[in-house]
Amino acid sequence: MSSELIPTSPAGTVTSFDTALAAERQAESIMMRSITKSIVIGLPVGIVFFIALLAIAISDKSEWYVVVGVGTIMGVIGAVMFGMLGGVTLVAHVLEDVDKGHVELGA
């Protein structure tokens, strides 16, 4: 038994550094598009949700502009947080494919 490791390259794996770098950049681009779409979709949903939640909770104790302002701020924060989480979760399989070496460039 030897202590030396012999690198093996299964069929279909990325062997060139330039090809691997291009695949990683493509995966990052796909991830950024997914995050952006998730945030854009989540903004109106989050704003409406938090305005409605605050209207139910404190509408009788404060002015309407306080409810709308605080609800908008909370909605933007929530949309950014959940949009980032959702965007990365939706493209996790692409990142896994790059790690495993199963890459299709040009998509």
Cα–Cα distance for residue pair 51/53, rounded to 1 Å:
5
Tell me if 75 sits within 8 A of 48, measured CB to CB.
yes
Q: 29-59 pLDDT, tens per residue?
A: 999 999 999 999 999 999 999 999 999 999 8
Cα–Cα distance for residue pair 67/83, rounded to 1 Å:
23
Cα–Cα distance for residue pair 6/2, rounded to 1 Å:
10
Tokens (6 digits) for 18:
């330039």
Domain boundaries, the chain: 21-99
Residue 94 has pLDDT above 60, yes or no: yes
pTM: 0.73
Task: Give the DSSP letter of residue 60.
Answer: T
Residues in the chain: 107
pLDDT of residue 14: 47
Contacts of 72 (CB under 8 A, 6+ apart): 47, 50, 51
42, 47, 53, 55 alpha-carbon torsion, rounded to 10°: -160
